[in-house]
Structure 1
Amino acid sequence: MGKKVNKPILVAGVGISFILWFYNSLSQHILEVGEWGLLSAISLGLGFWWRKGQKEMTNKPLPVTRLTEQSVRDVITQGELILNTLATEAPDCDISVFKQKLIQLSLGFDRQELTIALAGGKKVGKTTLKKILLAQNISNNISLIEIESLFKETKIPKIKADLILLLITGDLTNSHWKFLQKCNQDHQRFILVFNKKDQYIPEERSLILEQVRQQLNSMIAPSDVIAISAAPQVLKVRQHEENGIIREWTESQPPEINSLSDRLKLVLELETKMLVLGSLWREAVSLKQQAKANLNGIRRDCALPIIEKYQWIAAASAFANPVAALDLLATAAISSQLVIDLGVIYQQKLSFSQGQALSGIIGKLIVKLGLVELSTQTIGSFLKNNAITYIAGGTVQAISAAYLTRLAGLSLVEHFQDQDLDSSTIEEIDLTKLPQKIRRVFEKNKRTALVQNLIQQTLPHLSN
């Protein structure tokens, strides 16, 4: 990461901004009218543009590619690549635990022992069903675990099991649906168990089953939605005798779970390989994410000083050249070099032209999101309200330039750290989520304390 990169974009961009300054000073009034007209239009269009770009959530699950042994091994290989990169960039980081877990995963493809989890809300019959299944001894290669109430918190829980039996006692709720969507995306096999069917009349029972099967038809087969009664209600019997006496008593009913038992036997017979692959895939992805988080933390520590360097350069350039349009030009030039320097840290091999292209995309998004005007107004208002005198007319613009450069840099950090290690060119980088990242970074960095801290840090750089 000590790699030296020449800065022709930086020199050229700042130089052009100073050449054009004199011309812009002569036409200051015309430019002011045009700028504020442009900013007003951007402000008016921001709400519509942002709303238009957001996709409404639907109940339609995302398509999921069928797992193969090779696709699971590919994830393990990706994890190994991240660990090797981590070992190279941070030799002092202990990765032995990660490596040992990856080795264990590589040896787990022939596993025959399976774990089945019984999950659901409160009082849906998990404990009772577990006892019955244990007594039936469906297979010697399975272990049954009971998961406490799933839906105590809004966060979707992670369950370490090869197969999940999700118990419900009525219609699917929104919490059920979100959980099952996550299972589907994570290649987590599940069977939906409609327990306590005896508490419904046959018409209601059939209606609920049909509705649930329709809701889940893109995830599981209809035969994976099963109605049972693990502990049927006692049956009240009334007998009229010849002498006119009426006798009443209750009779307990045997569990009705044969349909579930039969389905489990068939799944265990035909799908053991896929159940194991699903578990291996989830574990490999989890390890990969943990290793990537460690790598991202180390790279972020290296990236922050670079971002700070460029934000001070941007501030000084804007302060010496206090015309808003040229501030954007100078910031764009610096941001182009910033893209390239951050790309070196994140092993994104970008040329100068690619750096310009990506910085241009970021610049346009910042304008479209209205962040130029918002940042200028926020900083200007803060300076006035806190009785900080204007050193010169370009003070607000200078601080805004530093702020926007920092915003662009932090957005790039989030963007680069989400890329695969082998995404080495701009054509291979997925830019579809970049607007959301910029917006998210802006929301995190618009708090008063952060803005105040940036202003206090920037002012000394303007007096040098």
Structure 2
Amino acid sequence: MLEVTATATRSRQSSQLLGHGTLRENVKAMQESNKPMWRKPILIGGLGLSAALWAWSSLQDALWQTGEFGVLSLAAVGTGAWWLQQQSRRVPTPAATPVDRAALERELARVRAAIAQLQAEVPHADTAVWEGQLAQLPQTLERQKLRVAIAGGAGTGRAHLAQVLANEPIKAAIDIAETATPLVGTDDDAATRATVLAADLVVFLIHGDLTASEWDCMTFLRGERQRVLLALDRQDRFLPEERAAIWQQVRDRVCPTLDAADLVAIASAPAPVKVRRHADDGTVGEWLEQTAPDLIALRNRLQQLVATEQSQLVLAAAWRQARAIGADIKAQLNRARRERALPVIQNYQWLSAAAAFATPVASLDLLATAAINAQLVADLGAMYCQDFSWQQAQTAAGALGRLMAQLGLVELTTQAVAGLLKGNALTYAAGGLVQGVSAAYLTRLAGLSLIAYFEEQELPAGGELQGDRLQKHLQAIGEQTRRAAIFQDFVRGVAQQLQARAAAPAS
């Protein structure tokens, strides 16, 4: 039977992205799965039909002289065309509504359900900390002071504004924390994001029109239902007409996202003013005199929010805290599910490789691969609590094929595999080897993309697959797995196993 010798240089990332075991191990794992292979109707039906058509095609070779890429594109495009058209017509998600007590209760119920799901899937998981945090959340609604975070980029004067506000009468009604602007789209600034999202209110400091990073950050905060006061600082540094132009520019840009009342102009650290005094004896004295900060607009808005919206702001903060707890639970659940899902993908990638390698006719190995990928969709969906019917799994698998064809992944993969195998004349000459290795890679790519897609879904999962999000994961994982060392290691390992399988005597 077959074995693959792992190289000493294979990294942990390589084994997760493009792992492969022996055919014996994978067949055994498949047989020991929760549902035996004979009870997988999509897989058995597709493979059976492929075998029947292969027997017929041996007598009708002339009818199957279609180019490999033409048939591949036709099979992928035809199955998923309607599904992707429907996805492209989706209406954008409406803006988030303000958080009320009912919304908080729904979020708490969702987190409790996530804890129960984790306990069911990972019995040894320790959920005591999360349960304790969840139990304390209702007590936070009784807070008498608003938690205010002052955020902004480097050099915006966050610390100074916090010091100035600490001497204002409004300090009796708020607790102030100064923090940097959280970076969006990275994991390097998790602590800053946590601080900002834990606040009831964020005062966001800018000095002019928003930069791209400031806009991204503010949009992120609003998406998390975080109330933001946008403070346009250093107003004393501009001439009156410049001040008016900058104000209007910022207002036009942010008011679709912010309430107009939440944009305020301040001068937290006015520049010193030159004072000149003429004495009676004719001498002239000059000095710089520091003027008082101008925080009237910010102070008034804070007082108004404390008086009229404090309870709603506190509710929203509790809602975000519940979501943060849910995100931690989801991360642990995803790790456990991924550990179970990777061997399943590995099993199906070998089935795809064997089917394509054993069936020289491109159209027939595509039929077998489509059946395998449809069953893969169904099995992974079940692992992530997103069950698919027989028809839904077939449609989703066809849509995956269409996306791969649109992104050029099919042709790119086949060309890359052929290029690597050409170096060995005997290897390259083996019939069906390029198709077998390519099918294994594309099945693994589909499986890893589905895992990434399911992992970002809200708990509990549900609903149809969204083509745009699935495409994003296909592109990202395709780029990762096509890195030279990882891809070469995978191609050689699969090729060796397929060649050994072909050389082994029939049992």
Q: TM-score range by the shorter chain?
A: 0.7 to 0.9
Does residue 10 of the first structure (1) align with residue 46 of the second (2)? no
Aligned mates of 1:61, 1:313 — CA distance in 2: 39
Question: What letter matches 2:326 in structure 1?
Answer: K
Does residue 448 of the first structure (1) align with residue 480 of the second (2)? no
Which of these residues, 192, 198, 208, is aligned with residue 170 of structure 1? Answer: 208
Aligned mates of 1:421, 1:194 — CA distance in 2: 39
Report the equivalent of 2:112. Answer: 80
Question: What letter matches 2:349 in structure 1?
Answer: Q
Aligned residue pair count: 450
Report the equivalent of 1:320. Answer: 358
CA offsets 1:386-432 (integer angstroms, 9 cap, x no match): 666246211111111211221222222223333344445xx545444
Q: Quick check: 135-144 or 286-295, which moved more?
A: 135-144
Q: Quick check: 170-179 or 239-248, which moved more?
A: 239-248
Q: How far does residue 151 in structure 1 lie from its aligned partner after superposition? A: 7.1
Aligned mates of 1:343, 1:20 — CA distance in 2: 29
User: Which structure 2 residues correspond to residues 274-313 of structure 1 after superposition, within 5 A?
Assistant: 274-313=312-351
CA contact (8 A) 1:9 1:334 kept: yes
Partner of 2:269: helix, strand, or coil? coil
Q: How far does residue 61 in structure 1 lie from its aligned partner after superposition? A: 11
Does residue 102 of the first structure (1) align with residue 140 of the second (2)? no
Partner of 1:385: helix, strand, or coil? coil
Which of these residues, 174, 183, 200, is aligned with residue 142 of structure 1? Answer: 174
CA contact (8 A) 1:419 1:429 kept: no
* Cα pair distance change 1:32/1:373, threshold 3 Å: farther
Report the equivalent of 1:200. Answer: 238
CA contact (8 A) 2:203 2:231 kept: yes
* Cα pair distance change 1:303/1:211, threshold 3 Å: same
Question: What letter matches 1:121 in structure 2?
Answer: G
Question: What letter matches 1:170 in structure 2?
Answer: G
Which of these residues, 259, 281, 284, is aligned with residue 246 of structure 1? Answer: 284
Report the equivalent of 1:48. Answer: none
Superposed CA RMSD: 3.2
* Cα pair distance change 1:387/1:77, threshold 3 Å: farther
CA contact (8 A) 1:121 1:151 kept: no
Q: Quick check: 14-23 or 282-291, which moved more?
A: 14-23
Question: What letter matches 2:488 in structure 1?
Answer: Q
Partner of 1:220: helix, strand, or coil? coil
Partner of 2:150: helix, strand, or coil? strand
CA contact (8 A) 2:71 2:363 kept: no
Task: Output the TM-score relative to the length of structure 2.
Answer: 0.80
Q: How far does residue 169 in structure 1 lie from its aligned partner after superposition? A: 2.4
Aligned mates of 1:287, 1:77 — CA distance in 2: 12
Question: What letter matches 1:447 in structure 2?
Answer: R
Partner of 1:107: helix, strand, or coil? helix
* Cα pair distance change 1:196/1:352, threshold 3 Å: closer
Aligned mates of 2:214, 2:444 — CA distance in 1: 41
Q: Give the number of the structure with larger relative contact order, counting CA–CA contacts within 8 Å between residues 6 or more apart.
A: 2
Does residue 374 of the first structure (1) align with residue 406 of the second (2)? no
Report the equivalent of 2:497. Answer: 460
Q: How far does residue 358 in structure 1 lie from its aligned partner after superposition? A: 2.2
* Cα pair distance change 1:232/1:343, threshold 3 Å: closer
Q: How far does residue 329 in structure 1 lie from its aligned partner after superposition? A: 0.4
Question: What letter matches 1:14 in structure 2?
Answer: L
* Cα pair distance change 1:274/1:94, threshold 3 Å: same
Q: How far does residue 130 in structure 1 lie from its aligned partner after superposition? A: 2.0
Which of these residues, 379, 384, 394, is aligned with residue 356 of structure 1? Answer: 394
Aligned mates of 2:35, 2:102 — CA distance in 1: 39
Q: How far does residue 207 in structure 1 lie from its aligned partner after superposition? A: 1.6
* Cα pair distance change 1:28/1:228, threshold 3 Å: same
User: Which structure 2 residues correspond to residues 87-126 of structure 1 after superposition, within 5 A?
Assistant: 87-126=119-158
CA contact (8 A) 1:73 1:106 kept: no
Partner of 1:4: helix, strand, or coil? coil
* Cα pair distance change 1:447/1:24, threshold 3 Å: farther
Aligned mates of 1:203, 1:353 — CA distance in 2: 64
Q: How far does residue 173 in structure 1 lie from its aligned partner after superposition? A: 1.8
* Cα pair distance change 1:26/1:368, threshold 3 Å: farther
Q: How far does residue 153 in structure 1 lie from its aligned partner after superposition? A: 11
Q: How far does residue 98 in structure 1 lie from its aligned partner after superposition? A: 1.6
Aligned mates of 1:344, 1:125 — CA distance in 2: 52
Partner of 1:433: helix, strand, or coil? helix
User: Which structure 2 residues correspond to residues 187-266 of structure 1 after superposition, within 5 A?
Assistant: 187-240=225-278, 244-266=282-304
* Cα pair distance change 1:315/1:108, threshold 3 Å: same
Partner of 2:482: helix, strand, or coil? coil
Report the equivalent of 2:95. Answer: 63
Q: Quick check: 31-40 or 352-361, which moved more?
A: 31-40
Aligned mates of 1:278, 1:453 — CA distance in 2: 50
* Cα pair distance change 1:122/1:417, threshold 3 Å: closer
Partner of 1:65: helix, strand, or coil? coil
Aligned mates of 2:295, 2:120 — CA distance in 1: 56
CA offsets 1:60-90 (integer angstroms, 9 cap, x no match): 9972322222112212221211111111111
Partner of 2:472: helix, strand, or coil? helix
Task: Output the TM-score relative to the length of structure 1.
Answer: 0.87
Q: Quick check: 13-22 or 236-245, which moved more?
A: 236-245
CA offsets 1:88-138 (integer angstroms, 9 cap, x no match): 111111111121112222433333332112222333333332222211231
Partner of 1:435: helix, strand, or coil? helix
Aligned mates of 1:149, 1:439 — CA distance in 2: 29
Identical columns (%):
38
